[in-house]
Structure 1
Amino acid sequence: MPSIHDFATWEPVLRVLRASNEERLAAPGGYVTGQIGVYGWSVPVRRRSPEPGRAAQVEDMQDEWDAVEVVRNALLEAGTDDIAFVAEISPAGRTVLHLISCGPAADPGIAGPYPGSLLLVEDAVAEPWRRLPDPMPGAVPAPSADPAQLERTLRERLPDAIGATEAEIAAAEARLGVTLPDELKALYRVTRARWADWGDYETAEVVYDAVGCELLALEDLFVADASSRPCRWEFAAMEAVVTPPDAAVQQLVGSPGWIVFGGNGGGDRIAVDLTPGPRGHLGQIVMLSHEWTIGAELLADSLTDLVLNGESGKAGGDSRGDRPPAVVRVNSSSLTSIQAAAHPGLEALSIGVWDGEPFSLAPLTGLPRLRTLTAYTGTLADPQEIAKLTGLEFLKLGPQEWRALLAAGAVPRSLSAAAIQVDGAPHPLPIVDLANEILALWDRPPITRTVLEGDLGPEAA
């Protein structure tokens, strides 16, 4: 199989690109960019429009599909998930192809050739992903929790179910490293929830109706800690854990006390909560939405409550109360000054689209919890003021701001990750070079660039 670094592997893609981008490639300094991955691709080609009333089919893009498949197979062979490229093709067919592989210290860009976040400290995660639950020593089960009633009710509803043995329950506890709450043990004593025991969807539906959710098999129970909710650094850095004093659920990314035992059929996880919020109950039932990267929603006070009464949709307390927000955005349609954003609880600040005078960062100096700063190009009066923000762990700036910091030797050494704000469509290679300069400050593996040259010959008339 041709290597990902063989010109022949890329020749079909290059021919498709040339056919769709003749004018752009023929312009002085002309080039096209794209990205191909094992699970998808983004390449600038023209596709035939389907006939009116018919959805697009593979045959409408067969040339593109076949060409990309050659590269995808080479990626699979190389054990690489994703590769970006910049292609320069002369009218005579002379081709220079730059391949960009992000490697272990940079995330691939989102549908583009520019690198995503740069991981400056190996295995580092954003602060919300490091946050553990606050202890709640006074937390007790809800009055509705009744393991004996729960087990009786489920045996009445599922008389033919096969339950787990005590040895199987003990094995699950050993695997998870946690003692299962009595209600969860009662549930699995009635049904171990194995598909092999059900055999068809009708039986599975009976179990769903009896319990109120799609059950995981006992051996598939898992703890929804922070690692179970992965998130790209640039998004994770703009999250914050805020649990108000009237909350039933701690609004964490994950918890060692969230034991997932089921789902709602729509991708959301349902868990027993052994680390409740200030107003919650030990063993309450929470839902972790697949659309959220942080927080959980209270469904029922107990597993008994869920089985007997269904989801209660109980509120978990106001998410912020009267306190200033931990995450703030300053831009033309939100807050319009740094002074208005600055307060001791500020954790993450994003400076977005702004047509006024650039901002001074002086009001942020000394804020004890500020850990994230992102700023569009041209929004900062003096990028070197960033050096005074000694607690930053994530910084995203435009190229000119990064250049100013690098020239002054003022890149904060507290950073765990960084990113380059790319506005418009600048040439990708200088952005990659800048990213490598930042990575080099932490002695991290660089983004690799491989240059392939070849000749496609003149395009047929």
Structure 2
Amino acid sequence: MVDQRPPLPAAICDFATWEPLLRLLRAYDTQPRTALPIRGAGRVGVNGWSLPLRGRRSPASRRVLDRVQRALARAGVDEIAFSAEIRPTGRTTLRLIDYGPAVEASVGRPGLGALVLAEGALPEPWRRLPDPGPYTGPAPSADLGLLERTLRERLPDATGATEAQIAAAEARLGVTLSEELRVLYRLAPARSEDWRDACAAVGCVLFPLEDLSVVDGASRYPRWEFAAKRTVVTRPDAAVQGLAGSPGWIVFGDNGGGDRLAVDMTPGAGGHTGQVILIDHEKSIGAELVADSLTDLALGLLREDHSDRSGEGPPVVAAVGTSSSLPTTADAAHPSLEVLSVGEYDGTRFSLAPLIGLPRLRTLTARPGSLADPLEVAGLTGLEFLELGPQEWRLLLDADAVPRSLSAAAITPQDPGESPSFVAIANELLTLWDRPRINQAVLEGDLGPGG
């Protein structure tokens, strides 16, 4: 069993540590004074914060935040989430939450975030390997003689890598370099002071041979709360396979803006082995065709993937409920379905029975109260991500019906203020997978009547 984490340090659980921040929350509240309490939630960490403070923050508010951050640093706590209820009398309930290593805290929305039930688990698109081929050969423009002559003209005095050095790079990467890459590095200068000329000769920021790498899907993984709902589809005529990474994507440079350039040894049916692709640093999946060959890249003959992306394609993502054209889950059921979202529609509750047995269904998100029978979830034996409301999770836990195929899970609140109230549910789920639990502390104090 995983050793559970120690409770929060006493200094962090001292109401006095948080009192200035709570007063700040009350001072920033701009709602008309009523008999209702002020509620707020946020996070404070040693390197930043996310707080419900409207408008420009004063130097005084900055000093308050600095005080809390210093207290966290002294206690060895990286970040604390909190929620507060400040009643008109000044009586205050403060909940502190230390998520721990098994939770990917939510970004920009209410809720705890994703519970990572299997350590190191990634959503399926980030684990997907390339279609094994057979692949098309190099493009007709891949001309080794022309590439060598072009580079020699541009780099007349360069002394490149030896065959032994190239072989060592291949052994390190576990892949065979394309013939064009081998030509390139046999001619690329070994001296760092000559590297600027090499970059100009190839038409990109060229990496030294020892910095060649392959694109690992895990390195582009965003977060479960976003990634679980993403899918990738490679069209039949696509030049580049729809992947997060591939052992055949050999990165040799970038475009000067942080986007990596790679030789693609695992192309789509519409591409060529050894084509040059761009991996956008702002995207977590996919790549774009830049040139049919390194020869074309060096000659400035660039192109784009003009694969036909029109048409509906297979229904890999579907939704029923609000703002959806699908009235029932039966209409969404299809062997290709991977991701289903269930919303709310005029009080209608949806059955999951039509989805049982679908071979590829891996993600289900359902708004609280949207399911006719939450226990039907137990029949979806291929799920890797499940997002439900607290009442639905409670039913599954009590019936011992939580699908054990899950790698991650999330609890959806109806009200942002609910989040701390279902830490207990989250901890029950984490315990089922023997994962580190969330720490929580509830503090009571008195701020006195507000001004």
TM-score for the superposition, normalised by structure 2? 0.86
Q: Among the aligned pairs, what percent are the same residue?
A: 59
Task: Indicate the residue corresponding to 2:44 in structure 1.
Answer: 36
Distance 1:235 1:91 in 2: 38
Distance 1:180 1:79 in 2: 46
Task: Indicate the residue corresponding to 2:302 in structure 1.
Answer: 311
Measured against aligned partners, the alpha-carbon deviations of 1:340-390 in whole angstroms (never above 9, x if no partner) come to: 221111111112353352222222122111111111222222222222212
How far off is 1:149 after superposition?
Answer: 2.2
Distance 1:436 1:293 in 2: 30
CA contact (8 A) 2:35 2:88 kept: no
Please say if 1:197 is aligned against 2:187: no
CA contact (8 A) 2:83 2:417 kept: no
SS in 1 for 2:417: coil
Match runs of 1:301-450 below 5 Å: 301-315=292-306, 317-319=307-309, 323-337=313-327, 338-355=329-346, 357-450=348-441
Distance 1:38 1:166 in 2: 50
Measured against aligned partners, the alpha-carbon deviations of 1:384-415 in whole angstroms (never above 9, x if no partner) come to: 22222121111111222222323333222221
Please say if 1:237 is aligned against 2:236: no
Task: Indicate the residue corresponding to 2:29 in structure 1.
Answer: 21
Structure 2: stretches of 5+ with no match in the other structure: 1-9
CA contact (8 A) 1:161 1:190 kept: yes
Please say if 1:135 is aligned against 2:132: yes
Distance 1:86 1:276 in 2: 50
Q: For the structure 1 residues 355 and 158, does the alpha-carbon distance in structure 2 shift closer, same or farther, using more than 3 Å as the test?
A: farther
Distance 1:452 1:385 in 2: 39
Aligned partner letter, 2:319: R
Structure 1: stretches of 5+ with no match in the other structure: 49-59
Aligned partner letter, 1:277: G
CA contact (8 A) 2:110 2:413 kept: no
TM-score for the superposition, normalised by structure 1? 0.84
Distance 2:190 2:68 in 1: 42
Q: For the structure 1 residues 402 and 169, does the alpha-carbon distance in structure 2 shift closer, same or farther, using more than 3 Å as the test?
A: same
Task: Indicate the residue corresponding to 1:255 in structure 2.
Answer: 246
Q: For the structure 1 residues 209 and 99, does the alpha-carbon distance in structure 2 shift closer, same or farther, using more than 3 Å as the test?
A: same
SS in 2 for 1:266: coil
Question: RCO higher in 1 or 2 (8 Å CA, sep ≥ 6)?
Answer: 2
SS in 1 for 2:395: helix
Q: For the structure 1 residues 151 and 214, does the alpha-carbon distance in structure 2 shift closer, same or farther, using more than 3 Å as the test?
A: same
Distance 2:254 2:78 in 1: 29
Distance 1:155 1:64 in 2: 62
Q: For the structure 1 residues 249 and 382, does the alpha-carbon distance in structure 2 shift closer, same or farther, using more than 3 Å as the test?
A: same
Measured against aligned partners, the alpha-carbon deviations of 1:214-238 in whole angstroms (never above 9, x if no partner) come to: 2233332221121121121122222
CA contact (8 A) 2:319 2:341 kept: yes
SS in 1 for 2:246: coil
Task: Indicate the residue corresponding to 1:148 in structure 2.
Answer: 145
Q: 2:215 aligns with which of 224, 233, 239?
A: 224
Task: Indicate the residue corresponding to 2:181 in structure 1.
Answer: 184
Task: Indicate the residue corresponding to 2:5 in structure 1.
Answer: none
Q: For the structure 1 residues 374 and 187, does the alpha-carbon distance in structure 2 shift closer, same or farther, using more than 3 Å as the test?
A: same
Task: Indicate the residue corresponding to 1:68 in structure 2.
Answer: 65
Quote the RMSD (CA, aligned, Å): 3.1
Task: Indicate the residue corresponding to 1:286 in structure 2.
Answer: 277
SS in 2 for 1:99: strand
SS in 1 for 2:105: coil
Distance 2:163 2:21 in 1: 59
